[in-house]
Chain A
Amino acid sequence: MPMHLPDASLSHVSPYYNPFHQQDYLAAYLDHYTRSPSSLIPYSIPPLVDLSQHPNLRFPAMESLSREELERFQKLSNEYEPDVQGPLVSAKRSTHAISVEYANADPTLAAKTSALVVTHPFSRIMKGDGNCGWRAVAFGYFESLFTLRDPLRVQQETTRIKSLSRLLDQVGQQEHLYEIFVEATEGVMMQILNSIQKRVADEAFLVEAFNDEYNSNAIITHFRLLTSAWMKLNPIRYQSFLAAPLEQYCASRIETVKTEIDEVGLQALVDGVISSSGVAVEILYLDRSEGNAVTPHMLSANPVNIATIRLLYRPGHYDLLYRADPSMSIAPIVNYQYGMTSQYIPWEQAALSFDANPHLMAIPNLTADPFFLGSAPMTPAAVPAPYLPSTRNVFYPSTQPPQSQPRPQSQSPTEPQTQPETQPQTQGQGQPQPQPPPSTMTSPSISPTQTHPLTPLPSKCSDGPQIRLNPLVMKPNLSHSLPVTTPFKNSPYNQAHFLNHDFEPIHWEPSESRK
């Protein structure tokens, strides 16, 4: 051997001036104090420079510090160990522990964490080693599959995840390198399948599998590589959110072994790996924003989800949260918006941006007219009517006398067959034109003759929706014209409400172009 080469991990004194590494140390040290404990330095960088031997080192930011301070910093930096204790994935525990942590913190955090104990009584803590977000999603995904206890689904998922290897091939990953990661994922899938078939009571085996660091790393690496490949194959969706070119971002943030996941990476992980399983991912932000509850954000765009992974996000760190009863999807919260109430009328009113009589609004062709009939701009006379409005005008007064009650216009005349009950009336009048069927709702106040002698109502039949104006049926129109909104569902389980436990904010998919 020509020269003695000290092992990098053991060397503590270097005769060489080494500014680059010096900065690394400082960064590591500062990180420790300025960021949250979970924003971690990936490696303990070997101490290559001993400051005590280099009193003349010049660092602009450090010049004001005394040599003692520098030495102390160096010592702290050298001895820096990320604050990572505990298992990679903890057992499920009471969320109360989290609220205790914040009991004396900012009142907002205290309030939010106490509310969290009620809404999400259980949590699982991830080790903050730089992989917590990846690990939380991966663990949550496998746990969801186990909790569903559907062997067929596990097999399908195994096949699906393995088939994603084609993405890796497409971006040029070498099979001989990635196969061990795929095998690790497959191994956990097999464990889940066996455990379901043996009716294993709890997910302890999964926690154990994830606490085997080598195995855990392999699974996380697999998910990282799939995410990276997905991003590279769908660059349009992600590039605009990235400061760096996508390839560079993937190399430095996604494919690395211990880089914390960020929002873009998390979205890509959900899009590329998790979403197709039907498992949703929801982030609950614990921050000091206004409000008494954590801010939820649904990442999955699936209309129906088989399960939801709930991530508690505290700056730089992710943990898992569990609701009290998965089957309980109605929050014990009074919902003043539409869609969450069992009362029929109020939501109609609330759904409309203008104040309308819900009884009237329930009737087709009358959409907004009771209020606007007198106003010229609103009369749809300018809209060409496909049939003669005058016919209708004659028609209506003539039909009313035989009936004991005023009958509102309801269905489109072009669809007369849907309501066979109208037949007797038609016969009685001998009108060639099909008669509108009776409405399901009767309202004495909206007979066209009573409201106005003008002709707008029939013509509205042709251009307005031929259906009751309610948010549910407005859905298709909305989704085509306004990409930023997703239709609301008239359901007590409406996820669109911000207080709903499964709240899913409506977000625009960059991949969906405006139609």
Chain B
Amino acid sequence: MDYMMEDAQNAAPEAHETAKLGASTQRSDKQSVTKRLQSELMQLMLSPSPGISAFPNADGNLLSWTATISGPSETPYENLTFKLSFAFPNNYPYSPPSVLFKTPIYHPNVDFAGRICLDILKDKWSAVYNVQSVLLSLQSLLGEPNNASPLNGQAAELWDNNPQEFRRLVLARHRSVDDDE
């Protein structure tokens, strides 16, 4: 018995073991991502924040979500609702999700393709940020654009110099996404 044990230990088929390990590691990573996203979803449902919501897409893939934020009051985005898409990487939360505005939005830090310029979605991402904190950050970005690094230069300028025109363009650009779906 002892000898058999010894043999089994000594004759470690390294390549095989590594391959097996790699596969199991990947599986456990996926489980970890899933677990994390489920926990976030749970949190969103248990303690919802006013003006934001998010839910995984119906396709059963927990790695892509759709979210909505409502424009903060006393901003040009008041009474408007914006839809966003979240795509989570396989190593989430150690890389940020890709977040896009699906609803067309006129904003200094969002381009016309819906891409967002926000440091916490890039190099300032932290593994404790989450769907809820990203949505809250985006909501505050609506009321406080970072005009120092605009994606939409005209919007940045109008925000500072011509609020009426800014508001007009916000309303002109806004469309409800649901109408088209």
Which of B40, B124, B175 has most chain A Cβ within 10 Å? Answer: B124
Distance in Å from the Cβ of B86 to the closest Cβ of chain A?
Answer: 12
| Stretch of B73-81, B125-133, B163-171 with 4 or more beta carbons under 8 angstroms from chain A | B125-133
Say yes or no: A174 contacts B98, CB within 8 Å: no
Say yes or no: A43 contacts B91, CB within 8 Å: no
A214 at the interface (CB under 8 A from B): yes
B114 at the interface (CB under 8 A from A): yes
Interface size for B (C-beta < 8 A) is 44
Cα-based distance from A180 to B87 in the complex (angstroms): 21
Say yes or no: A214 contacts B29, CB within 8 Å: yes
Say yes or no: B124 contacts A251, CB within 8 Å: yes
Q: Mark B80-99, 1 if CB is under 8 A from A, else 0.
A: 00000101000101110010
Say yes or no: A256 contacts B124, CB within 8 Å: yes
Q: Mark A38-52, 1 if CB is under 8 A from B, else 0.
A: 000111010010000
| Stretch of A2-10, A275-283, A340-348, A435-443 with 4 or more beta carbons under 8 angstroms from chain B | A2-10
Say yes or no: B113 contacts A16, CB within 8 Å: yes
Which residues of the other chain, A, contact B113 by a CB distance below 8 angstroms?
5-6, 11, 14, 16
- The one of B102, B115, B123, B128 in contact with A177, judged by C-beta atoms closer than 8 angstroms, is B128
A225 at the interface (CB under 8 A from B): yes
Say yes or no: B175 contacts A2, CB within 8 Å: yes
Which residues of the other chain, B, contact A181 by a CB distance below 8 angstroms?
127
Distance in Å from the Cβ of A16 to the closest Cβ of chain B?
Answer: 5
Q: Mark A197-218, 1 if CB is under 8 A from B, else 0.
A: 0000000000010001111011
B23 at the interface (CB under 8 A from A): no
Which residues of the other chain, A, contact B124 by a CB distance below 8 angstroms?
251-252, 256
Cα-based distance from A176 to B39 in the complex (angstroms): 7
Interface residues on A, range: 35 or more
Which residues of the other chain, B, contact A45 by a CB distance below 8 angstroms?
122
A504 at the interface (CB under 8 A from B): no
Cα-based distance from A217 to B32 in the complex (angstroms): 12
Interface positions, chain B 17-43, Cβ under 8 Å from A, are 21, 25, 28-29, 32, 35-36, 39-40, 42-43
Which residues of the other chain, B, contact A20 by a CB distance below 8 angstroms?
117, 149-151
Say yes or no: A2 contacts B42, CB within 8 Å: no
- The one of B42, B91, B102 in contact with A214, judged by C-beta atoms closer than 8 angstroms, is B91
Distance in Å from the Cβ of B91 to the closest Cβ of chain A?
Answer: 6
Cα-based distance from A65 to B112 in the complex (angstroms): 29
Say yes or no: A18 contacts B151, CB within 8 Å: yes
Say yes or no: B94 contacts A257, CB within 8 Å: yes
A1 at the interface (CB under 8 A from B): yes
B6 at the interface (CB under 8 A from A): no
Say yes or no: B39 contacts A217, CB within 8 Å: no
- The one of B32, B35, B128 in contact with A173, judged by C-beta atoms closer than 8 angstroms, is B128
Which residues of the other chain, B, contact A256 by a CB distance below 8 angstroms?
123-126
Chain A residue nearest to B130 in the complex (CB): A177
Q: Assuming A16-B151, A43-B95, A176-B42, is B32 touching A257 (CB within 8 A)?
A: no
Cα-based distance from A225 to B91 in the complex (angstroms): 18
Which of A43, A213, A214 has most chain B Cβ within 10 Å? Answer: A214
Interface positions, chain B 150-165, Cβ under 8 Å from A, are 150-151, 153
Distance in Å from the Cβ of A170 to the closest Cβ of chain B?
Answer: 14
Say yes or no: B127 contacts A18, CB within 8 Å: no
- The one of A3, A9, A16, A255 in contact with B128, judged by C-beta atoms closer than 8 angstroms, is A255
A336 at the interface (CB under 8 A from B): no
Interface positions, chain A 249-271, Cβ under 8 Å from B, are 251-252, 255-259
Say yes or no: B153 contacts A17, CB within 8 Å: yes
Cα-based distance from A69 to B40 in the complex (angstroms): 46
Q: Mark A348-373, 1 if CB is under 8 A from B, else 0.
A: 00000000000000000000000000
A498 at the interface (CB under 8 A from B): no
Which residues of the other chain, B, contact A300 by a CB distance below 8 angstroms?
none
Which residues of the other chain, B, contact A14 by a CB distance below 8 angstroms?
111, 113
Chain A residue nearest to B39 in the complex (CB): A176
Q: Mark A14-48, 1 if CB is under 8 A from B, else 0.
A: 10111111000000000000000000011101001
Say yes or no: A43 contacts B127, CB within 8 Å: no
Which residues of the other chain, A, contact B119 by a CB distance below 8 angstroms?
252
Which of A2, A215, A251, A258 has most chain B Cβ within 10 Å? Answer: A2
Say yes or no: B36 contacts A16, CB within 8 Å: no
Q: Assuming A43-B95, A256-B123, is B29 touching A16 (CB within 8 A)?
A: no
Which residues of the other chain, A, contact B21 by a CB distance below 8 angstroms?
208
Q: Assuming A45-B122, A177-B128, is B180 touching A2 (CB within 8 A)?
A: yes
B104 at the interface (CB under 8 A from A): yes
Which residues of the other chain, B, contact A9 by a CB distance below 8 angstroms?
98
Which residues of the other chain, A, contact B172 by a CB distance below 8 angstroms?
none
Distance in Å from the Cβ of B133 to the closest Cβ of chain A?
Answer: 9
Cα-based distance from A11 to B114 in the complex (angstroms): 13
B138 at the interface (CB under 8 A from A): no
Cα-based distance from A252 to B125 in the complex (angstroms): 8
Say yes or no: B127 contacts A251, CB within 8 Å: no
Q: Assuming A2-B177, A18-B111, A217-B91, is B150 touching A174 (CB within 8 A)?
A: no
Which residues of the other chain, A, contact B114 by a CB distance below 8 angstroms?
5
Distance in Å from the Cβ of A15 to the closest Cβ of chain B?
Answer: 8
Could you show 30 A-B contacts with beta carbons less than 8 Å apart? A2-B102, A2-B181, A3-B104, A5-B100, A5-B102, A7-B87, A8-B100, A8-B115, A16-B111, A16-B113, A20-B117, A20-B149, A41-B123, A42-B123, A43-B95, A176-B43, A177-B93, A177-B127, A178-B128, A180-B35, A208-B21, A213-B94, A214-B25, A221-B127, A221-B128, A252-B119, A252-B124, A255-B127, A256-B125, A256-B126
Taking A2-B181, A8-B100, A11-B113 as known contacts, 20 extra A-B pairs with beta carbons closer than 8 A to each other, sorted by chain A number, are A1-B180, A1-B181, A2-B175, A2-B177, A2-B180, A16-B111, A17-B153, A19-B149, A19-B153, A174-B128, A176-B40, A176-B42, A178-B128, A180-B35, A217-B91, A217-B94, A251-B124, A251-B126, A252-B119, A256-B126
B interface, CB within 8 angstroms of A: 21, 25, 28-29, 32, 35-36, 39-40, 42-43, 85, 87, 91, 93-95, 98, 100, 102, 104, 111-115, 117, 119, 122-128, 130, 149-151, 153, 175, 177, 180-181
> Which 7 pairs show the lowest CB-CB distances between chains A and B?
A255-B126, A217-B94, A2-B180, A214-B29, A221-B127, A20-B149, A42-B123
